[in-house]
Structure 1
Amino acid sequence: MSITSDRPVGLGQVDVEWYDAPGGYTGVEPTEEWAAEVRRLARARNATLLAHNYQLPAIQDVADHVGDSLALSRIAAEAETDEIIFCGVHFMAETAKILSPDKTVLIPDERAGCSLADSITADELRAWKAEFPDAVVVSYVNTTAEVKGLTDICCTSSNAVDVVASIDPDKDVLFLPDQFLGAHVKRETGRDNIHIWAGECHVHAGINGDELTAQANSHPDADLFIHPECGCATSALYLAGEGFVPEEKVKILSTGGMLDAARETGAKQVLVATEVGMLHQLRKAAPGVDFQAVNDRASCPYMKMITPAALLRCLREGRDEVHVAPDVAERARLSVQRMIAIGNPGSGE
C-alpha cells in the first residue's frame, strides 16, 4: 500500500509517499523538513511524542522525551496533552495506556512486538500459578497487559532485586519472563525458592560471553556496561570474579542506570552490552567517552519498525491506537502501583 499527500512538510510543499513493507513503513527520509512536519503535526494533535532508548536516532531526536519504558509511561500519565505517541514496542504503549486510561495512546506501527513479552502468555502464566498457588508472581514490565493483570508485583531491571527482597522469604516467587534477569535476581538475593520462567529477549540473549570476553581482552582499559537481560551478564561477573577484568569496571545496569553511569565514568572507553540504539543517548550524555557495542549486530527489528514513515503516517492518520480492556487495565495498574509502593521503581527497564 502506498499513500500520497500534498500537504506541506515543514519548509515546502512536497508530495509524501510511504509504503507498507514487510519490515515496516518505508519511503520517507528523516530530513529537517520531516522533523519540522512531525513537530507541527504533534502540536496540531495536542500530542506528546515519546521515544524509547532503542529507537532510531532520528526518532529519538524528534521526540519530546526519550527514556526507558516505565519512565516514559509515567511521563505519559503526567502529560497535559490529549494524545500520547509512543515510539517503542507494543507492550510499552500498553503500559502507557494502563497508566493513562483517559488519554488516546498511539503507536506508529502496531506490529512492533517484543520477543521477550511474547515468551509468556496469560494462559501459560495461569497454568504456572496453578502449580504454585501460594507463590508471589513478579513480572518484569516487559510483559503484556494481560500478564501484568495476573501479576502481584511488577519490577524493572533496576529494582527487580529490591522487589524480590521485599517478599516474605518463606514465600515462593514466580519470576518472569526473562531468565537472565531472573538469574541475576537469584544471585543477588540468594533465594532458593525463586522459580524463573525460561524466556528471553532474542537480541539481548544473542550478546554472548565469548564476544564479551574477546572485546574485554582487546580493550583492557574499557569499562563494561552490561544490561542484565544479556546472555553475557554471567560471563561479565565471572571475568571480574577471576580477576580478568577489574571488578570496579564491570557494571550490571538498566538502560537508565547506564545513562547515569555514563555521566559519572572516568573511563575513556566503555563497552556496552545492550541494544545498539542505546549508544545514541550514551554518546549525547558523555560526548568525551568512546562508547562501543559489544555486539554491533544487536539491533531489535521490532524497535526499528518505528520508522520516519511510520511516525508520519501515525500523525497524519491517527494510527495505530492502543486499547486495553478496562478490567485488564485495572488489574495491571495494581501490579505497577504495588511496585512503586515498595520504593523507587527506577527509571525503567
Structure 2
Amino acid sequence: MALETGLPATGEEARLIAEIQELKRERDALILAHNYELGPVQDIADATGDSLALARYAQKSSARTLVMCGVYFMAETASILCPDKTVLIPDPEAGCTLADAMTPEQLLAWKAEYPDAVVVSYVNTSAAVKALSDYCCTSANAVDVVRAIDPDRPVLFGPDFFLGSYVARVTGRPNLHVWPGECHVHAAILPEKMEEEVARNPGSELLVHPECGCTTRALALPPRKVAARVLSTDGMLRYARESSATTFVVATELGLLHRLRKENPGKAFLPAHEGAVCPFMKMITLEKIRDALRDNRYEVRVPDDIRQRALLPLERMVAISPPQRHDI
C-alpha cells in the first residue's frame, strides 16, 4: 500500500480513509492499532502503541465502540477492561502463536505443581488463561510486576520463554519458573542475523525486544562493538526519539519500523532480520476496518464469569507502570 512507504494515498485508499472517518463519527468509535500493524492501519488509528498503551487507551476512552487493530487477545483484553463498550476486531482470524502456547488446562496443571506460586501471565494469552492468573504484564512492565511480588513466593511466568528468562536475569530471582513458549516471529530473529547487521553498520545502536531469540547474545556483545538496549516497542520509540545516534538495528517485528521512521525522519532504522513479519498482524487492512465499522462486525465479548476473574490481573498490569526509562 502507498502509505506504507510514505507516499500519498491512492484514490482507493483515500476513499476508504474518508469512509472510515465518517463511520467513526457515526459509531462514536476509536481505532486502536498495535505497533506491528501495517503502515496505513497505524496512520488511520486514533492511538497506536504496545499492548500496555492500548489497554490504557481503551480504559480511558469515552468512545462507545473500540476497533482493535491487532490480534485476538488484544480485543479480549479491551473487552475485559471495558465491558460497557462494543469491541470490534476487523479480522477474527488474527490470532497469536504465543497466546496459543499455553492453554488453561496446561496452566492449571502447572499451578498444581507449585500450589504456593504467584502466576504472572504475559498479556499475550487468552482471556481464559488470564482468568487463572494473579498478575498480567507486558514487555514494558514485566520486570516491575515481578519485583512487586513477595520475594519468598515462587513465580510461574508464562508463556514466553525468552521474556521470562530476561526477567529472571534482571531480577536475579531464583524462584522464577518459566514456561517454554515463544513467539515464532521473535524467536526466529537469530543471533547470527543480528550480529551480521550490526557488523555491516558500525556505530549503530541495537534495539532488542525481550521476546527475541537473540536477546542473550545481544547483551553479551562488547560495548565497543555496539550499544545494545532491551526494550518494549514503545520503549524503542521513546529511546529512538531521545538518542543522538543516527543509525539503529532493530530486533523486533518489522511493523515497528514504519512508526520509527515516521517519527524520526533524519535517522535510519534497519531490521535485524528481514523476515520478522507476523502474518496475523498483517491481516488487518483499511478495507476490513471499514467493514467492521459499517457492519458492526466482528464483536469480541468475553463471557462474564471469565471477564470478572481476568479483570484483577489486568488491572494490576495497568497499575504497575515502569518509570520513563530506557530499559524495561
Q: Same fold (TM over 0.5)?
A: yes
Secondary structure of 1:85's match?
strand
**One-letter amino acid matched to 1:268:** T
Q: Does 1:87 align with 2:69?
A: yes
Q: Would the alpha carbon gap of residues 267 and 182 (structure 1) be closer, same or farther in structure 2, given more than 3 Å must change? A: same
Q: Distance in 2 between matches of 1:339 and 1:346?
A: 16
For 2:54, which of 72, 94, 109 is the aligned residue?
A: 72
Q: Distance in 2 between matches of 1:116 and 1:67?
A: 19
1:119-268 matched pairs, under 5 angstroms: 119-240=101-222, 243=223, 245-246=225-226, 249-268=227-246
Q: Does 1:335 align with 2:317?
A: no
Unaligned runs of 5+ in 2: 1-9
For the 8 Å contact 1:82–1:103, the answer to whether it is kept is yes
Q: Would the alpha carbon gap of residues 233 and 60 (structure 1) be closer, same or farther in structure 2, given more than 3 Å must change? A: same
Unaligned runs of 5+ in 1: 1-27
Displacement of 1:63 in angstroms is 1.0
Q: Distance in 1 between matches of 2:324 and 2:179?
A: 23
**One-letter amino acid matched to 2:249:** L
For the 8 Å contact 2:138–2:317, the answer to whether it is kept is no
Q: Does 1:306 align with 2:287?
A: no
Q: Would the alpha carbon gap of residues 29 and 160 (structure 1) be closer, same or farther in structure 2, given more than 3 Å must change? A: farther
Secondary structure of 1:31's match?
helix
**One-letter amino acid matched to 2:238:** D
Aligned residues: 317
Displacement of 1:308 in angstroms is 2.3
Q: Counterpart in 2 of 1:12?
A: none
Q: Counterpart in 1 of 2:44?
A: 62
The CA deviation string for residues 244-294 of structure 1, in whole angstroms up to 9 with x for no partner, is 624xx1100000100100111111110000000000111122111101111
**One-letter amino acid matched to 1:89:** V
For the 8 Å contact 1:138–1:174, the answer to whether it is kept is yes
Q: Distance in 2 between matches of 1:29 and 1:109?
A: 24
TM-score, normalisation: structure 1 = 0.87
Displacement of 1:339 in angstroms is 3.1
**One-letter amino acid matched to 2:261:** R
Identity of paired residues, percent? 53
Root mean square deviation, CA, Å: 1.8
Q: Distance in 2 between matches of 1:136 and 1:41?
A: 44
1:14-53 matched pairs, under 5 angstroms: 31-53=13-35
Q: Would the alpha carbon gap of residues 258 and 30 (structure 1) be closer, same or farther in structure 2, given more than 3 Å must change? A: farther
TM-score, normalisation: structure 2 = 0.93
Secondary structure of 2:221's match?
helix
Larger gyration radius, structure 1 or structure 2: 1
Displacement of 1:345 in angstroms is 8.5
Q: Would the alpha carbon gap of residues 92 and 298 (structure 1) be closer, same or farther in structure 2, given more than 3 Å must change? A: same
The CA deviation string for residues 22-80 of structure 1, in whole angstroms up to 9 with x for no partner, is xxxxxx98611111111111111111111111100001111111111221122112211
**One-letter amino acid matched to 2:120:** V
For 1:280, which of 235, 255, 258 is the aligned residue?
A: 258
